[in-house]
Amino acid sequence: MNLRYLFIVFCLSGLWIHAQSIKWMTLGDALEAQRENPKKIIVDVYTDWCGPCKLMDKKTFQNRDVATYISKYYYAVKFNAEGQEKINYYGNTFTNPDYDPNRNGRNSTHQFTKFLGVKGYPTVVFISETGDLITPLVGYQNPQQIELYLKMIKQGDYMIFSKPEDFENYRKNFRPRFKG
């Protein structure tokens, strides 16, 4: 009897852990998925050497509330800003021709990173259901900070802002619900 109980608890804990993780995909896969089921895309632009990127991965993207929300409403993409992945976006091909596989630490910046206008790491880039860039969000974001952007962009509230004060008012009135 105790062995059966232990087995059930083990199986359920595996489901609980799985439900909390984000299913990361390539940009190509996300753009393809949009054709069948339109959802916005969230792109985590990171580098291997970036400490705040690793912290955001651990503290923010592994947060249950964040992971559940992203998994439900977005296609999630991880993109190494200095990697060698070939990206096809809007009929353009982006590569990293100066990538050096023997280099430790920093490497050359990928052409797609430059196209996105990324100025620092980590940067989260939001892309619309039709593949248009919405906005980059630069720097480490904790669960409550990213919640504002996840919900504002998912709901389309950002489209009603006509001046900077509109966003500031939105931010001031936003009440985060994600737990830390």
- Beta-bridge partner residues of 150: none
The per-residue pLDDT for range 14-23, each reduced to its tens digit, is 444 444 699 9
The per-residue pLDDT for range 72-122, each reduced to its tens digit, is 999 999 999 999 999 999 899 999 999 999 998 899 999 999 999 999 999
Helix (H) or strand (E) holding 42: strand 40-46
Q: Is the pLDDT of residue 47 over 70?
A: yes
Neighbours of 133 (CB within 10 A): 16
The C-alpha angle with vertex 93 and arms to 91 and 99, in degrees rounded to 5, equals 170
Would you call 100 helix, strand, or coil by DSSP?
coil
Contact call for residues 80 and 46 (beta carbons, < 8 A) = yes
Q: Which domains does the chain show, CATH number per domain? A: 20-173 (3.40.30.10)
Mean pLDDT of the chain, nearest integer: 90
Q: pTM here?
A: 0.87
